[in-house]
Every structure is written in structure tokens, then in C-alpha cells.
Amino acid sequence: MKLPAIIFRTVLPIVAAVALGAELTACGSGSSGATPPAPSAPTAATAEEASSSPAAPKLSPRELQFASDARNTFSFGGNVQDAALAYSGLHICHGRKAGASVAAEVPSAMRTWASLSKGDAVQMIMLAAKDICPSQSAPQQVTYVVTGSGAHVTYGPAGANYAGNAPLSVTQPLGQPQYYSINAQLTGNGSVTCSLKVDGVILSSASASGSGNIASCEIDQDLNGSWEATSVTG
């Protein structure tokens, strides 16, 4: 995964990670107490200060594990330091502990790491929870949504063929099938829209109008394991 220049202009500040380490490591320690203040957003000035810092901050084993997992999953280069990745994971855990949903955390993750897709951002949030703040880790879910009316709907993971009629909303545990899909075919005039969500994040959507036309949505996993929209015709 090639990282665009914007990431290096906005690399998360190591100095901020040092200053906040004592407070935010609680995300990974499982300790109780008041929620620590949210980490401040990085700036170009703090990034320059961090680059001249004589020593990298000491990371906890959980933070090091997240940095390693994120680096291996998303192919971050050596010029992205472990401290920057760990600080990103701590920021995610702070938001999750404060009650933010996965969907609410996705825009921030994508702003911080501009090369991430929505599916990548969801996976990074899951990695942060697993490695740093396991109390926030939960089974993932897929949701099939069809809006409109007058459409016959088939949906499900690969190998399944559930049926229903629009409007429809069904949530199931996320597994590891080859793909998830929705096909919503209009039986008369009108319009219909389908969307597939993972943990509340819309990864695929489509619309159709006119008798006989079909709105089709599909997602599958890419090489790094993130769920992404699949191009569907029909």
C-alpha cells in the first residue's frame, strides 16, 4: 500500500504520544477510572518537533502489538514510526471508551491515514480494540438494508439465498464467506436502494428504478482482510 505525502505531513506526533502515554495507556491496561482527555490533533509544527526528538517514547506491549499488526496489515513503510501507529490506536480506544461507535471513528482514521479505505479503517479500529483496549472488542456484524417498496429481495453470504421484500433490514454476525450480497428486483414502477454495512459502516450501495430493474450490492475481502465493495453488474 503506497502512502501519499499527506500522511508524512500529518504524522502523529511522537512528542504528544510521550506526553499522553501515562494517561492513555490505561486503554490497554484495563484499569478503571475517569476517561482521559482526548488526544489533540497533530499539527505540522508538532510533527517537526517529533522528528527532532532525541529518543522515541517507550511503548507498552499492547501498543507495540498494535503497531506491528497495523504495519503488517496495511503495509506501512519504515518511515511511519511505531509511536505514530500506537498513538493512532490510543486515540481510537479513547473514542471507543467514550462511547463512539465504529462508524463514528472511521472518518478520523481515514483523515489520519489518507491511504485507508472505509473497509481498512474498520479493520484498523478492530485491531486497536483487540490489541490495546480489549474491553471494547466485540463480534463484528453485517447488515443488509433495502429501502423503497415493490421489490423482491434476495440476500446473504455466499452459499445462502435468503428472501424477503423491500423495505428490509437484517443484521447478522460477520463471518468469513467468499462474499455478502443483496439483489433487490423491482416488480413494478418505483425505485429501490440497497446497502451493505459492516459494523454500521456502509461499504456498498446501489439504486434502481423502473419495473424489472435490480439494485445489487456486494462486498468481499481484499488481500489484507478488509471488507470492500465489489463491482456488480445486473
The reply to whether 210 falls in a domain is: yes
Give me 203's grid cell. 461499504
C-alpha–C-alpha distance, residues 35 and 72, integer Å: 30
CATH number for position 201? 2.60.40
Residue whose cell numbers read 481484499: 222
Question: Do residue 105 and residue 180 come from a single domain?
Answer: no
Question: Do residue 189 and residue 96 come from a single domain?
Answer: no
pLDDT at 57: 73
Pick out the chain residues at pLDDT < 50: 1-37, 41-54, 233-234
Question: Do residue 131 and residue 145 come from a single domain?
Answer: no
pLDDT at 224: 94
Encode pLDDT of 139-191 as tens digits. 999 999 999 999 999 999 999 999 999 999 999 999 999 999 999 999 999 99
**Backbone Cα Rg of the chain:** 21
Question: Do residue 124 and residue 147 come from a single domain?
Answer: no
C-alpha–C-alpha distance, residues 14 and 56, integer Å: 7
The reply to whether 234 falls in a domain is: no
Last residue of a domain, one of 111, 135, 159: 135
pLDDT at 114: 95
From the list 42, 51, 50, 89, the residue with the least C-alpha distance to 67 is 89
- Total domain count, the chain: 2
